[in-house]
Structure 1
Amino acid sequence: MSAIVRMAGVLALLVLASTASAQNRVPTERALEALVKANLLSFNDANVTGNYDVFHAKLSKPFRDQFPPDRLKSRFKEFHARHIDFDVIAALKPQYEPAPRVDDDGKLLVEGFFPTEPLRLHFDLKFIPSDGEWKLIAINVKIGSR
Structure 2
Amino acid sequence: MLVIARLFAAVVLLWTVPAAQAQNKLPTERGLEALVKSSLLSFNDANVTGNYTVFHAKLSKPFRQQFSPEKLKATFKEFADKNIDIDLIAALKPTYDPVPVIDDNGRLIVKGFFPTEPARVVFELDFIPSDGEWKLVRINVKTTRALE
Same fold (TM over 0.5): yes
Q: Does 1:16 align with 2:13?
A: no
Could you tell me the TM-score, scaled by structure 2's length?
0.96
Matches within 5 A, 1:48-87: 48-87=48-87
Structure 1 residue 16, shift from structure 2 partner = 1.6
- The equivalent residue for 1:3 is 3
Structure 1 residue 2, shift from structure 2 partner = 2.2
In structure 1, what is the Cα distance between the partners aligned to 2:70 and 2:53? 9
Tell me the alpha carbon deviations over residues 49-93 of structure 1, each in whole angstroms, 9 at most, x when there is no partner.
Answer: 000000000000000000010000010011011111010100000
Could you tell me the TM-score, scaled by structure 1's length?
0.97
- The equivalent residue for 2:114 is 114
Give the counterpart letter for 2:70 in structure 1: D
Question: CA RMSD of the aligned region, Å?
Answer: 0.8
Structure 1 residue 119, shift from structure 2 partner = 0.3
In structure 1, what is the Cα distance between the partners aligned to 2:121 and 2:128? 23
- The equivalent residue for 1:130 is 130
Gaps of 5+ in 1: none
Secondary structure of the residue aligned to 1:35 is: helix
Give the counterpart letter for 1:133 in structure 2: E
Identity of aligned residues (%): 64
In structure 1, what is the Cα distance between the partners aligned to 2:106 and 2:86? 29
Runs of 4+ in 1 over 6 A off after TM superposition: none
In structure 2, what is the Cα distance between the partners aligned to 1:111 and 1:87? 18
